[in-house]
Structures are given as C-alpha cells and as structure tokens.
Structure 1
C-alpha cells in the first residue's frame, strides 16, 4: 500500500510517500524566509508560494522514494484546519492526482496528523493522552483506540506557540519567535524575573493571553526603571512558565485517566525544555513519546501516517 500525502495548511509545502506506513520520502519546502519579512505568515503569499513550489516538491518526493507516480495507491491531503487559500492549493493538487491516477482520495485533519506523526516510529498504546501544542492550537486529548479523539481541554484564547511569537515580537526578536526564545532560554536564569502561571486551576483548559499581558507589563516596568533587560533570563523565565503550565495540566490528566502512553505533538514539540520535561513524565510510570524533530513541524509524513491508519481501520470494519 503506497500513499502520497500532501500538506499545505500554512507555510510549509510538504509531500511524503509512505509504503505500508513506512516513510520513503518526506520533502518539506519552508516559506519562513519569505514571511519573516512581514513578521508573520501572510495568507495570500503562502497560497502563491504553495502553488509555485508544489510541482517541485512532488517531483523530489517521488525521486527520493524511488517510485513512479503510477505506483501510488492512495492520495492523502490536509483538508482542515488551516489557511483557506493554502488548503485549497493542496486540495486541488490532490483531487487532480486522484482523478488522473483513478485512485482513492483521503481528506484528513491536520491536528490528528500531528498526533500520528508520533506513530511513525512508535506503536501507540491505549489509553493514550496527547498534548498538542502549536502556533494555533493547544489541546489535551484522550485516545482509547486508534482515531478516537476526545478533547479534554483546549486553549481559551492564545495558543502557546502564538504566545511565544507575540512575546518574541515584544523583545524585538525575529519570526518565528518560538525557536529564538527557546535557544536564548537555554543559557538564561528562569528565576531572575517573576511571571504568573496562567489559568492555574483544576480544569484541563489553557489560557496564554494573561501570560502575554504579564510579560508586556513586566517589560514596561523594567524599561521604565531604566534597567537593562537580561534577555536570556527573561526568555528562560517565560519559557519555564509555559512548560510548567503544560506539564501541570498533563500531570493532572495522567493521574485521573491512568494512560499507558503520553504523546507530544505539534510544532512546539520541538522546544528543548518542553521535550525534556515531557520525557520526565516517565517517572509517573507512563511511557512518554516525542516525535523526531522532522515530524514536529508541518510535514507530509504525518498526514500519510494518519491516512495509513484510516485505511487500516476501514479495512478492519
């Protein structure tokens, strides 16, 4: 079973080829350099760049996989959520290939794909808790079997990745802000400054808008006092609060639902401090799985792995 998977939900054009769930190729063309000029993703530009790059990415994916396009059995693509124009480019490409090759089409969910990115190199064990962290989403999800997703909690406002980008902009750092803050935080003192733990309650929901406001207020006070900002320490403080918030909610869920496995997913799962804290959850007697870095950000392989699971489930009905 050979699947060609297309991912165009935001600012990466990616196509992967999988055979029986194994990744043969996973080509990603990033648009970050173009969007950095504007301090964030410009939807219209993203759509145009997908249109420009998609044929080259497709050619490279087939070349790397060492197969002909006629060897493909299924076409999978990201149908939702994402930027409408960007999603449309991937949809049209997928439908065209499906019609030309006369093979089935699999429209898939981008967020579910992120979770299944962790299943590329690891067999899922249920019940499973997934912490999905990205620029647009922060969710805590319970899975009792394949493809059954129960959202226990989600962000009430800003996603954690969005908060990172906004705080980075306050600090005058480049876009995307998450990786920059993460790098600076590695050599900073997280106890130098004080920031509150947002939505510190017994729910499984998240809120990061208050943390963003608190960071802005703290920066204003530092500057008004004429103090020099220790930017590495500030980044370390901010990052510690973000990681502690995520781990606090996840730890509560582990104690309540007693999962066999916890999975970290989404673009923010590339964060060094978060990955370290997440792996530390194994002290609670649960298996902790973090995806390879190449499967953290948006990529075709995660969509292909999700598509493979969809096919397996349908065949077993």
Structure 2
C-alpha cells in the first residue's frame, strides 16, 4: 500500500510518501524566516508561499523514492483545522493528484495526524493518552483506535504555543518564541517569580491567558522601576508554571483512564520540559509504552498525515 500525504494547515507545506507503514520521504517547505518580521504567521502570505513552493516539494518527495505517482494507492491531505487559505491549497493539490491517478482521496484531521506522528517508529497499545501541545491547541485526548478519539480537556483561551510566542514577544525574543524560551529556561531559576499555575482545578481544561498577563505585568513593572529584566529567570519561571499544570492534569487522567500508551504530540512536544514530564509520568505509573515523537515529527509534516491514513485504512479492513 502506497500513500501520498499532504500537510498544509499553516506555514509548512509538506508531502510524504509512505509504503506499507514505512515513511519513504517527508519533504517540508518551512516559511518561518518569511514570517519572523511580522511576529507570527500571516495567513495570506502562508497561502501564497504554499503556491510558490508546492511544485518542488512534490518533485523532491517523489524523486527521493523509487515510486512513480501512478503507483500511489491513496492520496491523503489535512482537511481541518488550520488556516483556511493554506488548507485550500493542500486540498486542491490533493484533489488534482487524486483525479489524475484515479485513486481514493482521504481528508484527515490535523490534530489526529499529530498524535499519529508520535506513532512513527513506535507502536500504540490502546487506549492511548495523548497530550496535544501546539500553537493552536492544548488538549488531552483518549485514543481507542485510529477512528476513535475522545477530547477530555482543551484550552479555553490561548494555546500553550500561542502563549509562548506572546510572552517571547514581550520579552523581546522575537518569533518563534517557544524554542527561545525553552533554551533560556535552562539558565534561569524557576523559583525566581511566584507565578500562578494556570487553570489549577480538577478539570482537564487549560487556560493560559492569565499566565501570559502575569508575565506581561512583571516585565512592565520592572521596566517602570528602571530595574533590569532577568530574562532567563522569567523564562524559567514561565516555563515551570506553563508545564506544571500539564503534569498535574495528565497525572489525574492517567489515574482515571489507565492508558496502555502515554505520548505527546504537536509543535510544543519538542519542548525539553514537556518531554521530561511525559517520560517521568510514564515511569512513575509503570506505563511501559511511553514515548515522545522524534524532533522531525513534532512540527507540521506530511509523514504524520501519511501515518494516520495508513492506520485508518488498516483499522477499516
């Protein structure tokens, strides 16, 4: 079984080729440098750049394998959620290829793809407890099969990645903020500032707007007093508060749902502290099947969509 998969939900345009469960190619056209000056992703620019780059992405994805496009059995693409203009580009490319080779089209869910990106080079034992952390989402999902996803908690306002970017902007670190704060946090004291643990209750929901506001107020107050802003300490204190609530809510979910697999997915799954929390919780609760995705599968990529498509086809047969 050969699958061509397209991911175009935001500022990456990616195509992956998968054969019998194995990723043969995963080509990504990233636009981070083009969006840096704007402090975030500009939707219209992202869609325009997808149009400019899609030809070479398709060409390289196919040429890096021994597979011809006529040999593809399924064409998968990200249908939702994401930036509407970017999604439309991916859909049009997928529909064009599907019609050209007369093979089935599979519209798939972006977040489900992220979760199955963690499955690449690993195996799921169901049920799976997945912590989804990205620029647009923060949620906990219980996955019972490739066709059975239950969201048990999600963010009520800012997603964790969005919060990282907004805090980094106030700190003068620029975009993207997550990796920069994560790196700085290694050098700081996370007890330097007593920040509120966001949405610290018995629910599985998240809220990061209050934590973002607390950091902004600290920085503004220091500047008004003419005091030096200890960037590393602020980064460490922020990261501790932002991830501590993930640890607490995941621990509660583990006790309630008794998962056989524990994992994390989404762009923020590259975060050092988030990865540590997942692995330590797995060890604490003796969940042998605990793993984090490879760094190359953390951000948006076609391989995660290809893997999701493959697992759905398998479960339906």
TM-score (norm 2): 0.98
Match of 1:64 in 2: 64
List gaps (5 residues or longer) in structure 2.
Answer: none
Q: Work out whether residues 17 and 26 of structure 2, in 8 Å CA contact, stay in contact via their aligned partners in 1.
A: yes
Q: Does 1:192 align with 2:189?
A: no
1:270-281 residue pairs with structure 2 within 5 A? 270-281=270-281
* SS of equivalent residue, structure 1 residue 274: helix
Question: How many corresponding residue pairs?
Answer: 315
Q: 1:299 aligns with which of 298, 301, 305?
A: 301
Q: CA deviation at 1:258?
A: 1.2
Distance (whole Å) between structure 2 residues aligned to residue 133 and residue 29 of structure 1? 22
1:148-297 residue pairs with structure 2 within 5 A? 148-281=148-281, 282-286=283-287, 287-297=289-299
Q: Work out whether residues 146 and 308 of structure 2, in 8 Å CA contact, stay in contact via their aligned partners in 1.
A: no
Q: CA deviation at 1:225?
A: 2.5
Output one character per residue of 1:136-192: Cα deviation in whole Å (capped at 9) or x when no partner. Answer: 000101122332111110000000000000000111111011111111111111111
Distance (whole Å) between structure 2 residues aligned to residue 277 and residue 227 of structure 1? 34
1:135-154 residue pairs with structure 2 within 5 A? 135-154=135-154
Q: Does 1:124 align with 2:145?
A: no
Q: Work out whether residues 133 and 269 of structure 2, in 8 Å CA contact, stay in contact via their aligned partners in 1.
A: yes
Q: CA deviation at 1:224?
A: 2.3
Calculate the aligned-residue CA RMSD, in Å.
0.9
Distance (whole Å) between structure 2 residues aligned to residue 36 and residue 134 of structure 1? 18
Distance (whole Å) between structure 1 residues aligned to residue 37 and residue 170 of structure 2? 16
Distance (whole Å) between structure 2 residues aligned to residue 111 and residue 157 of structure 1? 17
Distance (whole Å) between structure 2 residues aligned to residue 20 and residue 182 of structure 1? 37
* SS of equivalent residue, structure 1 residue 149: strand
Q: CA deviation at 1:121?
A: 1.1
* SS of equivalent residue, structure 2 residue 121: coil
Q: CA deviation at 1:36?
A: 0.6
- Pick which of 196-205 and 145-154 moved more: 145-154
Q: Work out whether residues 9 and 83 of structure 2, in 8 Å CA contact, stay in contact via their aligned partners in 1.
A: yes
Q: Work out whether residues 17 and 61 of structure 2, in 8 Å CA contact, stay in contact via their aligned partners in 1.
A: yes
- Pick which of 62-71 and 210-219 moved more: 62-71
* SS of equivalent residue, structure 2 residue 269: helix
* SS of equivalent residue, structure 2 residue 64: helix
Distance (whole Å) between structure 2 residues aligned to residue 232 and residue 73 of structure 1? 51
Distance (whole Å) between structure 1 residues aligned to residue 50 and residue 146 of structure 2? 31
Match of 2:3 in 1: 3
